[in-house]
A and B are shown apart, each in its own frame.
Chain A
């Protein structure tokens, strides 16, 4: 099993759809993250969960709703998205409160029509 697995890898949805992105980590880490990667922009941190508790929410619109049922799983629920939300969504994990490296999944490429 790879360290961080994201599904689906590709997703196309209309603005009225509801979908979810899933992330699973097999590394025993306690912190999980959602990042948004758009062209020509730095990676944007969206949410951070530490021991299943949300510790960061970087002014993300409410049409993105995270869920962390346990330390190994992280979801990003999507509803009524806008075309500008089209991007690569990356999940990552790390040890809690450590300066260790982030371990990333391969990302979910989202296209909003």
Chain B
């Protein structure tokens, strides 16, 4: 079975603080992809990153960084020096081998307080 768990429902931080959003996944597949999406109030989910199961290298993109650890089945997302514009709901997702099937977590609502 495929499953994505985002245990943090809501997080509030003060602007300029760092924040980490947790994502834990379950899959029996050896080949899979992990994603993070951002959903601002407008509703559209915006793609942030894709990581395949064979690449555990951490990635940094500006203030965003991702820590993929297969040993703990986690794919955590850190925002450094958070800004008000980072306020949104963030979804972690898993793409399985079979077909065009994406499994989403329940999302973490991040509020950055000015």
Contact = CB atoms under 8 A, between A and B. Distances in A.
A42 B39 CA distance: 13
B64 interface: no
A107 B44 CA distance: 6
Interface stretch (B15-23, B70-78, B99-107): B99-107
A17 B3 CA distance: 36
B4 A107 contact: no
B106 A40 contact: yes
A41 B102 contact: no
Interface string B16-34: 0000000000000000010
Contacts of B63: none
A41 B105 CA distance: 8
A65 interface: no
A105 B44 contact: yes
B60 to A, nearest CB: 19
A40 B89 CA distance: 11
Interface stretch (A20-28, A67-75, A78-86, A92-100): A92-100
Q: What bracket does the count of chain B residues touching chain A fall in?
A: 20 to 34
Contacts of A105: 44
Interface SS, B side: strand
A56 B47 contact: no
Contacts of B33: 99
Nearest to B91: A43
Q: What bracket does the count of chain A residues touching chain B fall in?
A: 20 to 34
A107 B43 contact: yes
A95 B34 CA distance: 16
Contacts of A76: none
B100 A48 contact: yes
Contact of A94 (B43, B100, B105, B106): B100
Nearest to A2: B44
A55 B99 contact: yes
A101 interface: yes
Interface of A: 31, 33, 40-43, 45, 48, 50, 55-56, 88, 90, 92, 94, 96-97, 99-107, 109
